[in-house]
Amino acid sequence: MNIFMVLLRKEIKELLTRQLLFSIAAMILVFYVIGKSVGSHSRASGASNSIVVMDLDRSELSARLLAAMGGGKTPLKPSAFTDIESAMSAPEHSGESSFLVIPAGLARSVEEGRPSRLEFYSRFRKRASGLGAAMAASRIRKVSSLAAAEASSYALERKAPGLPPSFLRDPAPAVEFVVVDGRTEQVPLAQVVGFMQSQSYFFPIAVFFIVILSAQMIMTAIATEKENKTLETLLSSPLDRRMLVVSKLTAAAIIAAGLSGAYLLGMRSFMSGITAAAEGATAAAAGPALAKLGLVITTQGYLLIGLSVLVCILCSLSLAFILGMLAEDVKSIQAMLVPLMMPLMLSYLMPIFIDLSTAGWGIKGLLYAIPFTHAFLAPRAVMTGDIASVVWGIIYQAAVFAVFVTLAARLFSGDALLTLRLRLPGTRRKAAAQ
């Protein structure tokens, strides 16, 4: 047993390196920054969690409906407008996304046994991200169920004879409309949100793993050459160093093209499956409604997304090329991945929880300065028709790639490359002791 404890302590000591502790500290810092940013953004955007109400009936029933919906702790904002277009375009409602119209004659229709309905309109913004749309869909489901129960109680209190049970259970069912760039379609917001989130969450994960896999591959290759003295042999040969850099970056570009092509094929297959599911029996109207709202990706859109992913992978490979040259040996690759992992995690996680269309300039500047963010947001931007932001994102990523390539070429052209190291605190003393 004593021998086992000695071996156990030895293994833990070997595994629990300074590089590992540095990586853990960096991950904690990333999640701390994300948590603080999400919390401050949630407090700042709390005013948009309400529903604008246009009560055109102004009856006892509409008052009871509003009281019941307000009891669900969802803020209701009365509006004096009489049509939904004017209410949505009003400056005082520019930050709101959910609108409820109680039609005129609702109480009389319920009393006379004629069907009526409550109309929910949800404004879906092009550059919106985060959980705002999903939370809005949840609020609509909650208040519509409260309204249905209150309307049913109102009809039962009138003791209307001969009315069908379906009418008495829900005499004024809620009907949802989604508005995108002035186009309005009758479709539940939850279906639109689910469709959008299917690519907002899945595609960035695929890019995330592709970037990490390709970066680790090139970093390991360079660090291995450095550790085995192969790089020293190449640099001492009469070969032009620029040719060495170009050959390595060309190989990286080929890898990036292959990975982005695989991503593109997988994305198209995934979207085909999602679209088929949306057109199934459970949501027969969702597919055509999404197409009429313009939430589709054309062939040109797929190519644009593929180009954005390609340049994103090239950025990561050029940065990994530099980090590989700074690595001390193959074992230090784990720690050297941290400068790449931190911006990757920020650019992936923060748009999931934060709406970039309403975020502060500090958060926007941080995320848009990270080149990977533009590739993560490209599928959603293409689907909502925001082509300009994708094009500018590709241009920015290409500029960052050019900067990294220039820096890598300069590092490769100097003799300090063979002795270049990025050591963590305390590693020099350890190396000197050895």
Residue 301 counted as domain residue: yes
For 102, the 3-state DSSP assignment is strand
Beta bridge partners of 179: 123, 184
Q: What would the DSSP string read from start to end of 269-286?
A: HHHHHHHHHHTSGGGTTH
Question: Is the four-CA dihedral 184, 185, 191, 196 of positive or negative sign?
Answer: negative
Tell me which residue of 414, 407, 113 sits closest to 241, measured CA to CA: 414
Residue 431 counted as domain residue: no
Q: Are residues 333 and 248 in the same domain?
A: yes
| Higher local confidence (pLDDT), 225 or 316 | 316
Q: What is the pLDDT of residues 95-150, one digit of tens each?
A: 788 899 999 998 888 888 888 889 888 887 666 666 667 777 778 888 888 888 88
Last residue within a domain, chosen from 186, 220, 237? 186
Is it the case that residue 171 has pLDDT exceeding 80? no
**What pLDDT does 188 receive?**
81
pLDDT band per the 50, 70, 90 thresholds, residue 287: low
| Higher local confidence (pLDDT), 268 or 363 | 363
d(CA 381, CA 374): 9
Q: Are residues 278 and 135 in the same domain?
A: no
Last residue within a domain, chosen from 186, 220, 247? 186
**What pLDDT does 32 receive?**
67
pLDDT band per the 50, 70, 90 thresholds, residue 399: very high
**What pLDDT does 47 receive?**
46
pLDDT band per the 50, 70, 90 thresholds, residue 432: very low
Residue 134 counted as domain residue: yes
Q: What is the pLDDT of residues 323-336, one digit of tens each?
A: 887 777 777 777 77
User: Among 13-17, 167-171, 218-222, 388-392, where is mean pLDDT lowest?
Assistant: 13-17
Residue 207 counted as domain residue: yes
Q: What is the pLDDT of residues 7-66, one digit of tens each?
A: 667 666 665 666 656 666 766 776 666 666 655 555 555 445 688 999 999 998 889 888
Tell me which residue of 274, 125, 117 sits closest to 189, measured CA to CA: 125
**What pLDDT does 201 receive?**
67
User: Among 119-128, 283-292, 371-380, 408-417, where is mean pLDDT lowest?
Assistant: 283-292
Residue 269 counted as domain residue: yes
Q: How many CB atoms lie within 10 A of CB 259?
A: 21
**What pLDDT does 8 receive?**
67
Beta bridge partners of 257: none
Residue type (1 letter), 394: I
pLDDT band per the 50, 70, 90 thresholds, residue 416: low
Q: Are residues 119 and 233 in the same domain?
A: no
Q: What is the pLDDT of residues 232-277, one digit of tens each?
A: 676 676 666 667 777 777 776 677 667 666 666 665 565 555 545 4
Last residue within a domain, chosen from 140, 167, 186? 186
> How many independent structural domains does the chain possess?
2
Q: 153 to each of 58, 73, 76, 164, 330, how far by Cα in Å? A: 18, 20, 21, 15, 71
Q: Are residues 255 and 318 in the same domain?
A: yes
Contact 380, 199 (CB under 8 A): yes
- pTM for the model: 0.64
Q: Which residue has the tokens 């689910």?
A: 194
Could you tell me the residue range of the domain that residue 113 belongs to?
50-186
Q: Are residues 59 and 23 in the same domain?
A: no
Beta bridge partners of 183: 180
Q: Are residues 140 and 236 in the same domain?
A: no
Question: Could you give the residue ranges of the DSSP H alpha helices within 52-102?
Answer: 60-70, 84-89
**What pLDDT does 101 receive?**
92
Q: Are residues 129 and 243 in the same domain?
A: no
Q: Are residues 323 and 219 in the same domain?
A: yes
User: Among 185-199, 228-242, 384-398, 412-426, where is mean pLDDT lowest?
Assistant: 412-426
Q: Are residues 173 and 229 in the same domain?
A: no
- Mean of the per-residue pLDDT values of the chain: 75
Residue 13 counted as domain residue: no
Q: Are residues 160 and 131 in the same domain?
A: yes
pLDDT band per the 50, 70, 90 thresholds, residue 297: confident
Question: Could you give the residue ranges of the DSSP H alpha helices within 95-188?
Answer: 106-112, 132-157, 165-169
Beta bridge partners of 122: 98, 178
pLDDT band per the 50, 70, 90 thresholds, residue 393: very high
d(CA 371, CA 388): 16
pLDDT band per the 50, 70, 90 thresholds, residue 279: very low
d(CA 360, CA 187): 31
**Which residues have a Cβ under 8 Å from the Cβ of 298 and sit 6 or more positions away?**
none
Q: Are residues 155 and 223 in the same domain?
A: no
Residue 122 counted as domain residue: yes
Q: What Rg, from alpha-carbon coordinates, does the chain have?
A: 29
Residue 14 counted as domain residue: no
177 φ, ψ to 5°?
A: -125, 140
Q: Are residues 31 and 134 in the same domain?
A: no
Q: What would the DSSP string read from start to end of 349-368?
A: HHHHHS-TTTS-HHHHHHHH
Residue type (1 letter), 29: L
d(CA 335, CA 20): 7
Contact 383, 301 (CB under 8 A): yes
Rounded mean pLDDT, 58-83: 85
pLDDT band per the 50, 70, 90 thresholds, residue 394: very high
Scored b (16 or more CB within 10 A) or e, 360-386 reads eeebeebbbebbbbbbbbbbbbbbbeb
CATH number at residue 120: 3.40.1710.10
